[in-house]
Amino acid sequence: MTPASFFLKLTDMGYVFSFQDALAYDKWFQKPQNKHTADLECQLMRDMLKPAAGESVLDIGCGTGQSTCWLLNMGLEVTGLDPSPYMLATA
């Protein structure tokens, strides 16, 4: 039997992004210098994980789906999770 304390409540996760936060987060990726930073992050993930097409990936804290889309474009099966319904709605 799993103890009740095992399950997290949304309020236990700290700050959960609002709708305005989600829009600002997504807009951040539109600036060239930030896109370059995000591309470097994705390259680092690729180099460290060495994923093969068809493999499954769990993108925890997927936000608005920037990394999720990149992983999908690599031919991976991706599931994205985020505690913010606004981040998921923006994705």
pLDDT at res. 55: 96
Give CA–CA dist 79/57, Å, rounded: 6
pLDDT at res. 72: 95
pLDDT at res. 1: 46
What does pLDDT average to in each consecutive run of 10 residues of the chain (91 residues)?
Answer: 50 79 89 91 92 94 91 94 90 81
68 in Cβ contact with 59 (< 8 Å)? yes
Give CA–CA dist 13/24, Å, rounded: 21
pLDDT at res. 15: 81
pLDDT at res. 80: 94
**How many other C-beta atoms lie within 10 A of the C-beta of residue 65?**
19
